[in-house]
Amino acid sequence: TLGRILNVVGEPIDERGPVGAETTAPIHAKAPEFVDQSTESAILVTGIKVIDLLAPYAKGGKIGLFGGAGVGKTVLIQELINNIAKGHGGTSVFAGVGERTREGNDLYHEFLDAGVIAKDAEGNPTSEGSKVALVYGQMNEPPGARARVALSGLTIAEYFRDVEGQDVLFFVDNIFRFTQAGSEVSALLGRIPSAVGYQPTLSTDMGALQERITSTNKGSITSVQAIYVPADDLTDPAPATSFAHLDATTVLNRAISELGIYPAVDPLDSTSRVLEPRTVGQEHYDTARAVQSLLQRYKSLQDIIAILGMDELSEEDKITVARARKIQKFLSQPFHVAEVFTGISGK
């Protein structure tokens, strides 16, 4: 399956002939037993300043990128693929769930250019030496396919973890579409909807998927999941259900993207389980907390600035505002994957 694009049932959709798979596995499986799970925590360096400083990712953890429409979730996930998957020795699996076909196509060609999908002597893609498997069930697929394609991708990732003992990177874009497809199927089955019209089995469906994404004694799965937030409302049942399962949450904020600061990560809303002195060290922890408290003070001063202007602030508050604005600018950076749009080389 490496270097190939598959659909929900494992059929190739890249017009390169049949997949020479030797083993098959059901997409529904039990989560690993408690005794088999690994609980070590180490930091996964992403190369994105705001994430590595304020909400670092754990190796073998579950990471969620939350954001409304058009604030940069897919670009951020592509940058993470660029920074982590290309330098990562192991295997990556990308599940495209109910998103744009164009993005899937772009990603495939990006992988080809970067050598993550290998080419043979004639320049054609080949499975030999490829490091990524792609599983797509995009927007144009029926809801049954979109509701199951995440499980198909996860099954491939589990194979690499359990059978080959690898450290796997599992990217999902977008988990909300998995929930949305489940809601469509639920309506077709005539089930009585729960809050906001979602399926009554929302948390069960999410739990069945998320509990399988874990690290065991054999290998690890580090998952990065983009999660669309309907109408920028984080309390909507779909994003709210996934919060409970994640080790780190990176929240993208429209107000920050409107200032032209990208990545538009909200430094006060984003959280991480591994931001503690035992894992990141005391200096990193103290620095991150100092940055957050400064940005929090700046946030509380913004109403005063909007009504009375900067001149009404005390000297101390003016220094706070100047520092916070410098930090905001420092935490933004140009992305490698956005070079074609911005003309600025990535950092």
Structure confidence at residue 124 (pLDDT) = 86
Q: Find the range with the poorest average confidence among 70-79, 85-94, 298-307.
A: 85-94
Cα separation, 181 vs 179, in Å, equals: 5
- 82-86, 284-288, 339-343: which is most confident: 284-288
Known catalytic membership, residue 73: yes
Residue-wise pLDDT for 130-174, tens only, equals: 889 999 998 999 999 999 999 999 999 999 999 999 889 999 998
267 part of a folded domain: yes
Flag the least confident range among 30-39, 192-201, 224-233: 30-39
Element (H, E) at 272: strand 271-272
Q: Examine residue 263 and say whether the peptide bond preceding it is cis (omega within 30 degrees of 0).
A: yes
Please report the pLDDT score of residue 42 as a whole number. Answer: 86
Q: Is the pLDDT of residue 85 over 80?
A: no
Which of these is catalytic: 4, 62, 79, 99? Answer: 99
* Residue 289 falls in the annotated catalytic set: no
What is the model's pLDDT at position 78? Answer: 85
- 135 in a structural domain: yes
Q: Provide the pLDDT confidence category of residue 342 given band limits of 50, 70 and 90.
A: confident
CA distance 315 to 321: 10
At residue 294, the pLDDT reads 97
pLDDT at 337: 80
Helix ranges (DSSP H) in 163-235? 175-188, 202-210
Total residue length of the chain: 347
- Identify the pLDDT of residue 224: 94
Give mean pLDDT, residues 24-40: 87
Question: What is the Cα–Cα distance from 281 to 287, expressed in whole angstroms?
Answer: 10
Q: Where is pLDDT greater, at 81 or 298?
A: 298
In a domain, 48, yes or no: yes
Q: What is the CATH number of the domain that holds 237?
A: 3.40.50.300
What does pLDDT average to over the chain? 91
The pLDDT of residue 96 is 94
**Looking at the 3D structure of the chain, how many domains does it have?**
1
User: Residues with Cβ < 8 Å from 61, sequence gap 6 or more?
Assistant: 41, 44, 222, 223, 246, 247, 248, 273, 274
- Compute the average pLDDT of residues 291-302: 96
345: Cβ contacts below 8 Å, ≥ 6 apart: 334, 336, 339
Q: Which domain holds residue 211?
A: 5-280
Asked if residue 192 belongs to a domain, the reply is yes
Whether residue 341 has pLDDT greater than 80? no
d(CA 181, CA 316) in angstroms, rounded, equals 52
Neighbouring-strand partners of residue 64:
225, 249
327 found inside a domain:
no
The verdict on residue 318 lying in a domain is no
Pairing of strands 92-97, 62-67: unpaired
Share of the chain above pLDDT 70, in %: 100
User: Which one, of 257, 246, 168, lies nearest residue 210 by Cα?
Assistant: 246
Interhelix angle 202-210/175-188, rounded to 10 degrees, is: 140
Both structure tokens of 312: 């009404």
Answer yes or no: 318 catalytic.
Answer: no
Residue 65 domain flag: yes
Considering 19-28, 31-40, 99-108, 222-231, the range whose residues carry the highest mean pLDDT is 222-231
Would you say residue 223 lies in a domain? yes
100, 254, 273, 323: the catalytic one is 100
Residue 328 has pLDDT above 80, yes or no: yes
> Which one is catalytic: 4, 73, 131, 177?
73
Output DSSP code: residue 338. T
